[in-house]
Structure 1
Amino acid sequence: MTEPSLLTPVLSANWDEHQPWTLDTYRRDGGYDGLRKALAMHPDEVIQTVKDSGLRGRGGAGFPTGMKWGFIPQNDGKPHYLVVNADESEPGTCKDIPLMYANPHVLIEGVIIASYAIRSGHAFIYVRGEVVPVLRRLHAAVREAYAAGYLGKNVLGSGFDLELTVHAGAGAYICGEETALLDSLEGRRGQPRLRPPFPAVAGLYASPTCVNNVESIASVPPILNKGVEWFRSMGSEKSPGFTLYSLSGHVTRPGQYEAPLGVTLRQLLDLAGGVRAGHRIKFWTPGGSSTPMFTDEHLDVPLDYEGVGAAGSMLGTKALQIFDETVCVVRAVLRWTEFYEHESCGKCTPCREGTYWLTQLLTRLEHGEGTEEDLETLLDVADNILGKSFCALGDGAASPIQSSLKYFRDEYLAHFEHGGCPFDTAASTAWATTAPASTGAGAHS
């Protein structure tokens, strides 16, 4: 096993090179070698290779990528589609956009390999419409790939045909949910579909469809090129490989850190220069705002799917948002909840009504106008959303509320005692410094 404290630049290896987004630079670093090896194999062999590697989806759920490809039925007489979910919208998540901007060809190569494996003749990359520079760069890279014979008819003389479309979404967080994305791609309003049928059976245009995250697909070419054993030499047994961790917030050097799965936040903070000078970590998210928050007590939790899950949260998109002792937890949770209320598609009652009432309750509490009884109401509403809404957006809205009350109940109570947010008063620094241990306001060592 690779020592988890060491960075493992693979996807980000060429980001600091001159014009890493060009085809010439990508091929100089071994680009499209994995595709050539894949095309020399039977499609089922490619799927088995990805299964053997243990690659898990990098979009949040961590579902095995090869297994997902294997769900696509064969010899059914229907067209098959590959859809790359590049609608990165989770608050705190910022790994797919820089990956596509700096190294679009690794994604395109992965798309071709995945399409070949599932026998897809048409693939789509669904990109968040606001990131115009990324869209332009992807379009330019796709044109280069067509001109070089990697896309279109008879890819590299293999007899395999593939068309690739880059599609700009219309800016809705809900379209990050795979079935809502498919509806949006078909020209309809982006709303989650009832399942079954699942996309592997009836997805885009009612045909078998595989939906994968950007990083999941981009991780495939190195696996084909360097082998299963190389990939499994990094990370842990059940969560092998490398991944991008996005550090943001109160960090000395925020950014993307590519490391083996299983690295800890303490190790990543050491690489990032720690929490900003003169401050200490108070709470953080392991996978974006939709995952239950952690405190300084969790600095040594292995950041893989099993480790984070055992500690009571989810690895999600590995969006590590770091907050120091100057931040009011109630206010942070309120801002997140306002986002989820705004982005709810309104299709199901628990999420549509529940996020509205969560926002009302949190606004009252943040202004010091609530009561301790409101905390129980808050938990009750969150419980009526969690696991009962049509898609995971409702779960994402409930998770930070439940976890913040678990670790920072004293801070909620302090709002009542101060008649408002204690961080807005002259005594706020003193209150934060003397806060009980249960607030998780310990120092980062």
Structure 2
Amino acid sequence: MKPIIRTEDTHPLTWFLRDDHQTVWLKEYQNKNGYSGARKALGKIAQDDIITMVMNSGLRGRGGAGFFTGLKWSLMPKDPTINIRYLLCNADEMEPGTYKDRLLMEQIPHLLLEGMLISAYALRAYRGYIFIRGEYIEAASRLRHAIAEANEAGLLGHNILNSGFSLELIVHTGAGRYICGEETALINSLEGRRANPRFKPPFPANIGVWGKPTCINNVETLCNIPAILTHGVKWYKDLSGTSKDTGTKLMGFSGRVKNPGVWELPFGVTAREILEEYADGMDHGLTLKAWQPGGASTDFLTQIHLDLPMDFEHIGKAGSRLGTALAIAVDNKINMVSLTRNLEEFFARESCGLCTPCRDGLPWSVKLLCALEQHQGQPGDIEILEKLCRLLGPGKTFCAHAPGAVEPLQSAIKYFRFEFEAGIDNTHVNTTGTIVGIQPNLLKKKY
């Protein structure tokens, strides 16, 4: 494994971590320069200037969509007389294969609290909610303890740091629904409603929680804010080197690799470097067949894509999405039909059922995949699956759940079509190669 030396100058998120993996509580966090960004900002920098700083930093959302954070903040109402505003932290980390936010919340909870404090101050929000998945019991407990510490130290609550600004933070546990990753479904769930997405417009920045202006950001996104305030925009932009994306990103590999995990790395590092130098490569006797760059809802890529820089632009041009940047390795022993069927079963179960394409289309894809997996597929089944991928694509459904759900399906057919065809004619499937089943013309494409 590649040796990792974390410093404040190179690892603004993870340099706080302890070697024994225990939680960094308030005293230790402050000894490591914690809350310096908040002390620099509150009452000393104009709120609109903080928004401008975040916009100029180029910080993009770390939850998967990659929307520019400063731009999202700028959509909040400019009228200072609107005194009821909310900051909502999306900690509902339900994407299969993703566990980066859990690391931050369990081991460095005060980093998230400081990020929310600065963000709420800039947005003039008097209350913040951390909407966390119900299964994250330990993370929720540690966040509540950290909030109690911060309140006692005067870093939350009334007149924080004598700035005249007050903030209340509340941890709210969800009921374990993947759809709550969609921000308006999350708002509905927080309000006690069924977790269905809402019509947009109006957008949450205008009408959000209980009809009031609301800004929603991911855990990792908010954890980047303190470093931007502490060290400045230029320093933050320089962290990523040659990539157009700025700052660092929590990236990793899971699957049958020797050292699965998550590491803070600059944008632009290649997937091969993460897999081979940090995750130590595939387990003994296995080779890489395919990989998903950022969770189960991203398109499969193959060995020929391993040297791509891990950033939004390059992964997008290759036909996938960076997503959460926690990649999933698929080894050569796995049949792509079975793997895809397993994924589509999850996405079909997690559909809120609001729109017909998603509600009916995803279970239909599961039915066809089950037949192909059992070598009982009919001629035309693959073409129906391809048509379903088009019908459930972007702009065809109420929210982004179905388009994300069919990404692994469409890419699995694209690169490993003959494994799907084997489910129809019962031909032998040879899964011992490293990139078995890839159509020859796709191997020639340059990225």
Task: Give the TM-score, by structure 1 length.
Answer: 0.93
Shift of 1:15: 2.0
Shift of 1:213: 0.3
What is the aligned-residue RMSD (CA, Å)? 1.9
Match of 2:65 among 61, 67, 70: 61
Per the alignment, residue 37 of structure 1 pairs with: 40
Q: Is the 8 A contact 2:87 2:129 kept in 1?
A: yes
Does 2:439 match 1:438?
A: yes
Match of 2:423 among 390, 415, 421: 415
Per the alignment, residue 79 of structure 1 pairs with: 84
- Whole-Å separation in 2 of the counterparts to 1:351 and 1:108: 36
- Whole-Å separation in 1 of the counterparts to 2:129 and 2:199: 22
Distance 1:408 1:66, change over 3 A: same
67-76 vs 129-138, which moves further:
67-76
Shift of 1:429: 5.5
Alignment of 1:134-213 (within 5 A): 134-213=139-218
Shift of 1:17: 4.2
Q: Is the 8 A contact 1:386 1:395 kept in 2?
A: yes
Does 2:272 match 1:266?
A: yes
Unpaired runs of at least 5, structure 2: none
Match of 1:244 among 246, 250, 271: 250
SS in 2 for 1:266: helix
- Whole-Å separation in 2 of the counterparts to 1:351 and 1:94: 26
Q: Deviations over 1:163-201 (max 9, x none)?
A: 111101111111111000000111111110010000001
Shift of 1:433: 6.8
SS in 1 for 2:380: helix
SS in 2 for 1:13: helix
- Whole-Å separation in 1 of the counterparts to 2:97 and 2:434: 26
Distance 1:433 1:77, change over 3 A: closer
In the alignment, residue 257 of structure 1 is paired with which amino acid? W
Does 2:376 match 1:369?
A: yes
Task: Give the TM-score, by structure 2 length.
Answer: 0.92
Match of 2:16 among 14, 17, 42: 14
Shift of 1:10: 2.6
Q: Is the 8 A contact 2:16 2:24 kept in 1?
A: no
Match of 2:320 among 302, 313, 320: 313
Per the alignment, residue 49 of structure 1 pairs with: 53
Distance 1:61 1:225, change over 3 A: same
- Whole-Å separation in 1 of the counterparts to 2:435 and 2:319: 27
Q: Is the 8 A contact 1:126 1:166 kept in 2?
A: yes
Distance 1:434 1:82, change over 3 A: closer
- Whole-Å separation in 1 of the counterparts to 2:376 and 2:329: 28
In the alignment, residue 314 of structure 2 is paired with which amino acid? G
Q: Is the 8 A contact 1:79 1:207 kept in 2?
A: yes
SS in 2 for 1:210: strand
- Whole-Å separation in 2 of the counterparts to 1:161 and 1:385: 45
- Whole-Å separation in 2 of the counterparts to 1:314 and 1:262: 14
- Whole-Å separation in 2 of the counterparts to 1:433 and 1:44: 52
In the alignment, residue 261 of structure 2 is paired with which amino acid? G
Per the alignment, residue 121 of structure 1 pairs with: 126
| Paired residues, number | 430
- Whole-Å separation in 2 of the counterparts to 1:126 and 1:347: 22
- Whole-Å separation in 1 of the counterparts to 2:376 and 2:201: 45
In the alignment, residue 58 of structure 1 is paired with which amino acid? R
Distance 1:266 1:435, change over 3 A: closer
Match of 1:329 among 311, 322, 336: 336
Per the alignment, residue 425 of structure 1 pairs with: none
SS in 2 for 1:85: strand
Shift of 1:319: 2.1
Match of 1:301 among 300, 308, 321: 308
Q: Is the 8 A contact 1:78 1:208 kept in 2?
A: no
Shift of 1:274: 1.1
188-197 vs 227-236, which moves further:
227-236
Shift of 1:437: 4.8
Shift of 1:434: 9.4
In the alignment, residue 254 of structure 1 is paired with which amino acid? P
202-211 vs 379-388, which moves further:
379-388
Q: Is the 8 A contact 1:54 1:64 kept in 2?
A: yes
Superposition misfits of 4+ residues, deviation over 4 angstroms: 5-8
Q: Deviations over 1:29-59 (max 9, x none)?
A: 1100010111110101111111111110001
